[in-house]
A = this chain, B = another copy of it.
Amino acid sequence: MKALILKSFGGPESFELRDVPKPVPQVGQVLVRVHATSINPLDYQVRRGDYAELVPLPAITGHDVSGVVEAIGPGVTSFLPGDEVWYTPQIFDGPGSYAEYHVAAESIVGKKPASLSHLEAASLPLVGGTAWEALVVRAALRVGESILVHGGAGGVGHVAIQLAKAIGARVFTTVRGANSEFAKALGADVVIDYEQENYVEVILRETDGKGVDVVFDTIGGATLARSAEALGQLGRVVSIVDTTQAQNLIQAWGKNASYHFVFTRQNRGKLDELSALIARGQLRPHIGAVHTLAEIAQAHALLETPNNGLRGKIAIAVVPQADLGGASHGL
């Protein structure tokens, strides 16, 4: 099979498309024909070596799969060949999704939502699972509360806005001005152009000085420290962007704040919860660009470019796009 091999840690040119042996499903595993995958900041972090000690080279990387079960290993009970599936491969534990075939433990594999194309379905597992973990599991956002989503036009951010609305929260989000309408269309109640406005001032004004209940940080930098200023008493900050930048958190004590640090833990349960929202029309991934496996360097370079103008996700077609039902993927 064709697979993208990461030869060495470095720039987008570090991948090479090669022929490698097709994997064979073992006990409890399914063999999946990958129809589409997608890219995430985690992918270029892995590529450049941020997690070098956890990734033996050469490696097949990639963290999203939408595809069709081709064969099952002994003991598999949840899937049959022909089933459409989606999932995030075990992070830092075996090959990733940048390949024509992938094997995975059935316990982490979900049934793909029927209303999504493979390109759409491949755009959601990692970011959707991350947003679910952050808002539902860790921050425990509740109906009637308010949330600030930093970076609402991004891969995780555009899913978080929809999830927060589904939960019944009032949603503030920061975006570049050009993405304001996009964020509104996703359901955000108050869209803040962070290049024009101070988000702390906007939030304190809009909440009568009380601040929001939850801040979701998808952008990093000095956001951990500053977000506390926009937070109400007993507020929660959730961050998915690991940074070595030292932060002065003095505002956190007076707010009785909680900070939750999230590195995604994937499982089927979260995928099934997301499927339910998709079926009810409360959640749909947005694809900002589509590339092929052979164009991965180009796709990585695009995602890494600051202010790249992207909205939502970059999907990667692994089978020819004509086979992916392109009309339905929302481009």
Which positions in A face B, CB cutoff 8 Å? 138, 224, 239-240, 242-250, 252-263, 265
Contacts and interface: CB of A to CB of B under 8 A. Distances in A.
B253 A239 contact: yes
B248 A242 contact: no
Given A257-B261, A258-B260, A262-B256, A249 B247 contact: yes
A192 to B, nearest CB: 25
A41 to B, nearest CB: 13
B263 A256 contact: yes
B244 A253 contact: no
A249 B223 CA distance: 13
Number of copies: 2
Contacts of A263: 253-254, 256
Nearest to A250: B244
Contacts of A257: 260-261
Given A258-B138, A259-B258, A260-B258, A249 B224 contact: yes
Nearest to A51: B254
Contact of A242 (B138, B254, B260, B265): B254
Contacts of A265: 256
B248 A253 contact: no
Given A244-B250, A256-B263, 14 more contacts: A224-B249, A242-B252, A242-B254, A243-B250, A245-B248, A246-B248, A249-B261, A252-B261, A253-B262, A256-B261, A257-B260, A258-B258, A258-B259, A258-B261
A1 B259 CA distance: 45
8 A-B pairs with least C-beta separation: A246-B246, A242-B253, A252-B261, A259-B259, A253-B261, A246-B248, A244-B250, A258-B260
Contacts of A254: 242, 263
Nearest to A265: B256
Nearest to A261: B252
Contacts of A249: 224, 247, 261
A290 to B, nearest CB: 30
